[in-house]
Structure 1
Amino acid sequence: MLTKRQLAILETIIRIYTTTSMPVGSKRLVDETNIDASSATIRNEMSYLEKMGFIEKTHSSSGRVPSLKGYRFYVDHLIRPKKVEQDQIVMINNTFDSHVRQMDDLFHQSAQLLSQLTSYTAFVLGPQGKTSKLIGFRLVLLNHQQVMAIIQTDTGAIENTVFQIPEHVNESDIEKVTNIFNQHLVGKSLYEVYQKLQNDIPLLVNKYAATASDMLMTIQTVFGESQEERLHVSGKMNLLDFTENMDRKKLKSLYELLDNDLDLNTILSRVTEDFEVKIGSELNHELFDEFSLVTATYKVDGHGDGIIAVLGPTSMPYDQTFGVLEAFRKQLSANLLRFYLE
């Protein structure tokens, strides 16, 4: 349990560091807080916070920077969303007041705007991308080289996709794959489908329909393409602003991941809370160890839920990011509802 003084010191270190990117020393804390304590006392408190793992030393100075544990504690217990600046409110309103003819245009503009407001990589997932469910799936063998996948969701959408299959795949295993999908995926949200396609389903197919296992990647792509229009990404180049220490190979892999809608849907599918922050290793992907993903859901009455998110450095100003996402999602929900009613 941290004392009030220790909480104030931790919060101030995070506020200063996320604003300046400079390690914070005891003298600056004395100058910029109302804590009635000497530099020596504050140094002792900082040593305690370091011992507890909330802050850490850098190699280049005697100052301290927040650790991932410190950021986690701050987000969970101390954060106070910052009020959005008036010029940002005007920018949001002007963008959403502009007339768009297509839903895709609205999501595309939304992703661009969110990226501009935060200077990070932004994601906008349209309504029903999170809540729509798979209610029907069939694989129809057209000939010895082609199969048609038929996907039906509870929104009334039916999508047919024809793809090539390896010569060694037999008709019996194609029927088994269809049965596996209907037993384990039908009735699940498309997000849950993405997750199970990555984890449970390959094991079942390998066990019961081994010759058809090579088709799984193609089927994953089919599901990814069915959701492609609902997921929009903007500001990928913003990654260059805080990845100067990342090697080129890793950076290239990161960009490739951001170009893969299926991978992104899988990552976003883990969102379960109204507002959520995943920091570093919590994202369960080595490419994101130095990043944070801040997500917020939004609702459009009668049309489902969507997600907005930003990917930035672990040292992002979380209070400011929270404030922007809160204001943004309210306007997006209202504007989408107007669009549906037109």
Structure 2
Amino acid sequence: MLTQRQDNILHQIIHNYTNLGKPIGSKTLMEEGIAASSATIRNEMKTLEEYGLLVKPHSSSGRIPSLKGYRYYVDYLLEPEKLKKSEVDVIQQSLGKDFHEINDIIEQSAKILSKLTSYTALSIGPDVSNRKLTGFKMVPLNNRQVIAIIVTDKGNVENQVFSIPKSVDSEDLEKMVRIINDKLIGEPLLIVYQRLRTEIPMILHKYFQTTEGILDLFNNMLSEAFEEKIFVGGQMNLLNSDQIQNIDQFKSMYLFMENSKQLNELLSTKDQPIQIRIGSELGNDLLSDMSLIQANYEIKDHGNGTIALLGSASMPYSKMLSLLDVFRQELAETLDDYYRSIDSFG
């Protein structure tokens, strides 16, 4: 462990550097209230450098934090910064608009948080596996294409454009949809998924010569309904980051941000309300100089969701931590109100 003075110096260096982006020297630290001579402060900075907590970027006397230094700061020195009332008001107003679907709220939450912070925001809504199927229909687009729509009892909507196999005419398709609705409406999605693989094919084969392609459509749509959708706000904030050094890295980062599976894996750790992971802790070499602040929330009877900020390791942690904590609480309240409105309507 560090001495109190070393703690104070490291704290001030990180606080100043994350706000100003410039190496911090002994003169600045004296002005910030470190009660020691310039020579003593320089010696302490050298010691912190030897511990691997600070880095000297060039020949000047200034230092910047290392990833290890940020980790120490987050674990032992970080104090959340109290948000101004005006900042809380902005969050509440942004989430206070009318939403028509759960995914609208989740998608907008990522965009709002990104705009408030200038970082990339990631948002995953509450679990959907316990939802019930309340509607399934197909709307013709032309002679051979329809848009298939699945609706659940809690506002989740999935839709997919589908080409009708030539062996299936439109009348048969309508009959199939009626049969599926009769058998599956009101059932939990998990039961729907199981019955589409077992009972429903047997029923359809009794009435129709071919069901080619139709059951694949239902399987694909139910798979999407079960998938945890992740919404990204401010993608270009990350792609324009100082961390991107060349075109190859830009391409790799772009592909990463488009890969929902990798993004879901990034947010798979949900054992704490709020957590901060830095550099190698993110498990991806592409993010080796970045940090992720992840906040999880719970909606009673509706599961858990996640909202997170991804950006440079030099982000101002005290401010971002407070902002994300308030944001997750307001988002949870918005979702809770939405679910209540659906329940009362039903």
Q: Give the aligned CA root-mean-square deviation in angstroms.
A: 2.7
1:267 aligns with 2:238: no
| Alpha carbons 1:79, 1:318 under 8 Å: kept | yes
| Alpha carbons 2:119, 2:238 under 8 Å: kept | yes
Residue 122 of structure 1: how far off its partner (Å): 0.3
Distance 1:276 1:79 in 2: 12
Which segment is superposed worse, 15-24 or 50-59? 50-59
| Alpha carbons 2:26, 2:61 under 8 Å: kept | no
| Alpha carbons 1:228, 1:261 under 8 Å: kept | no
Distance 1:45 1:251 in 2: 38
Equivalent residue for 1:112? 111
Report the CA distance shift for 1:44/1:60 in structure 2 as closer, same or farther (over 3 A): closer
Distance 1:228 1:247 in 2: 33
Equivalent residue for 1:67? 66
SS at match of 1:97: coil
TM-score, normalization: structure 2? 0.70
Superposed CA deviations along residues 298-319 of structure 1, whole A, max 9, x for unmatched, are 1111111111101000000011
SS at match of 1:106: helix
Q: Which amino acid aligns with 2:53?
A: F
Q: What are the residue-to-residue correspondences of 1:18-37 with 2, within 5 Å?
A: 18-33=18-33, 35-37=34-36
| Alpha carbons 1:14, 1:66 under 8 Å: kept | yes
Distance 1:288 1:224 in 2: 29
| Alpha carbons 1:6, 1:49 under 8 Å: kept | yes
Equivalent residue for 2:326? 327
Distance 2:292 2:12 in 1: 22
Report the CA distance shift for 1:222/1:290 in structure 2 as closer, same or farther (over 3 A): farther
Residue 243 of structure 1: how far off its partner (Å): 2.7
1:340 aligns with 2:339: yes
Equivalent residue for 2:17? 17
Equivalent residue for 1:317? 316
Q: Which amino acid aligns with 1:48?
A: T
Superposed CA deviations along residues 72-105 of structure 1, whole A, max 9, x for unmatched, are 0111111111112333212111122211111111
Distance 2:223 2:81 in 1: 36
| Alpha carbons 1:23, 1:65 under 8 Å: kept | yes
Equivalent residue for 1:258? 257
Equivalent residue for 1:296? 295
TM-score, normalization: structure 1? 0.70
Distance 1:300 1:15 in 2: 34
Distance 2:242 2:221 in 1: 32
| Alpha carbons 1:293, 1:309 under 8 Å: kept | yes
| Alpha carbons 1:14, 1:65 under 8 Å: kept | yes
Distance 2:255 2:227 in 1: 16
| Alpha carbons 2:244, 2:250 under 8 Å: kept | no
Choose 1 or 2 for highest CA Rg: 2
Superposed CA deviations along residues 170-200 of structure 1, whole A, max 9, x for unmatched, are xxxxxxxxxxxxxxxxxxxxxxxxxxxxxxx
Distance 2:306 2:299 in 1: 11
Give the total of aligned pairs. Answer: 260
Distance 1:60 1:325 in 2: 37
Residue 36 of structure 1: how far off its partner (Å): 1.9
- Moved runs in structure 1, 4+ residues, more than 6 A? 221-224
Structure 2, gaps ≥5 residues long: 131-153, 161-219, 342-346
